[in-house]
């Protein structure tokens, strides 16, 4: 979120417009191949996946996928910037 969602005692029902996923050891396939298409299909606009061992960030959008070395600053479709 570009701003803090409202404080509530109930589950947050807001859809994030961007997701940052950090690859965990042993879950590379899930984190890099399975989750990004799922997030995009749910309406997430930007999915960034960081591989902390290689320092590579993969940026998924509906119109394609790109890889970048970290650190990198991304301009997200929702208007925020994020440095990974």
Q: According to the model, what pLDDT value does residue 9 have?
A: 82
Buried b (16+ CB within 10 A) or exposed e, 16-47: bbbbebebeeeeeeebbeebbeebbeeebbbb
pLDDT at 12 > cutoff 60: yes
Please state, rounded to an integer, the average pLDDT across all residues of the chain.
92
pLDDT tens digits for range 54-75: 999 999 999 999 999 999 999 9
Instruction: Indicate whether 7 pLDDT > 90.
Output: no
pLDDT category at 3 given cuts 50, 70, 90 is low
Which residue in this structure is represented by tokens 């690859």? 23
């Amino acid at each position: 979120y570009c701003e803090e969602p409202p404080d509530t005692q109930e589950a947050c029902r807001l859809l994030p417009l961007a997701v940052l996923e950090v690859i965990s050891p042993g879950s590379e396939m899930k984190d890099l191949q399975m989750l990004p298409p799922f997030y995009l299909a749910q309406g997430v606009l930007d999915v960034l996946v960081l591989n902390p061992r290689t320092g590579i960030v993969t940026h998924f959008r509906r119109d394609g996928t790109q890889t970048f070395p970290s650190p990198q600053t991304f301009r997200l479709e929702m208007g925020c910037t994020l440095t990974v």
